A and B are shown apart, each in its own frame.
Chain A
Amino acid sequence: DADVTQTPRNRITKTGKRIMLECSQTKGHDRMYWYRQDPGLGLRLIYYSFDVKDINKGEISDGYSVSRQAQAKFSLSLESAIPNQTALYFCATSYRDSRNEQFFGPGTRLTVL
Chain B
Amino acid sequence: AQSVTQLDSHVSVSEGTPVLLRCNYSSSYSPSLFWYVQHPNKGLQLLLKYTSAATLVKGINGFEAEFKKSETSFHLTKPSAHMSDAAEYFCVVSGNARQLTFGSGTQLTVLP
Contact of B42 among A40, A56, A58, A106 (CB under 8 A): A106
B99, A58: Cβ atoms closer than 8 Å: yes
Which residues on A sit within 8 Å (CB–CB) of B102?
Answer: 35, 42-44
Asked if B44 contacts A101 (CB within 8 A), the reply is no
User: Quick check: is B55 within 8 A (CB to CB) of the other chain?
Assistant: no
Which chain A residues border B94 with CB–CB below 8 Å? 99-100
A106–B104 contact, CB under 8 A?
A: no
Closest to B104 in A: A42
A42 to B4, CA, bound (A): 10
B67: interface (CB < 8 Å): no
Residues of A within 8 A of B103 (CB): 42
Nearest CB on B from A94, distance (A):
9
Most buried by B among A40, A41, A42, A48: A42
Contact across chains for A104 and B32 when beta carbons are under 8 A apart: no
A-facing residues in B9-31 (Cβ within 8 Å) = 9
B38 nearest CB across to chain A (Å): 8
A83 vs B34: C-alpha distance when bound (angstroms): 32
Contacting residues, chain B, for A43 (C-beta < 8 A): 44, 90, 102
Chain B minimum-CB-distance residue to A45: B99
Check B99 against A48 for contact (C-beta < 8 Å).
yes
Assembly CA distance A102 to B44 (angstroms): 9
Closest to A56 in B: B98
Please, which residues of chain A bring their CB within 8 A of the CB of B34?
Answer: 101
Contacts of B32 in A (CB 8 A): 99-101
A106 and B43 form a contact (CB under 8 A) = yes
| Chain A 19-36: CB-based contact to B (< 8 A → 1; otherwise 0) | 000000000000000010
Kindly state the separation between the CA atoms of A100 and B100 in the bound complex, as whole angstroms.
7
Q: What separation, in Å, do the CA atoms of A113 and B94 have in the docked complex?
A: 35
Restricting to A66-112, which residues have a CB under 8 Å from any CB of B? 90, 92, 99-107
Q: How far is the CA of A107 from the CA of B43 in the complex (A)?
A: 6
Q: Which 5 A-B pairs have the closest CB atoms?
A: A42-B102, A100-B94, A104-B44, A99-B51, A99-B32
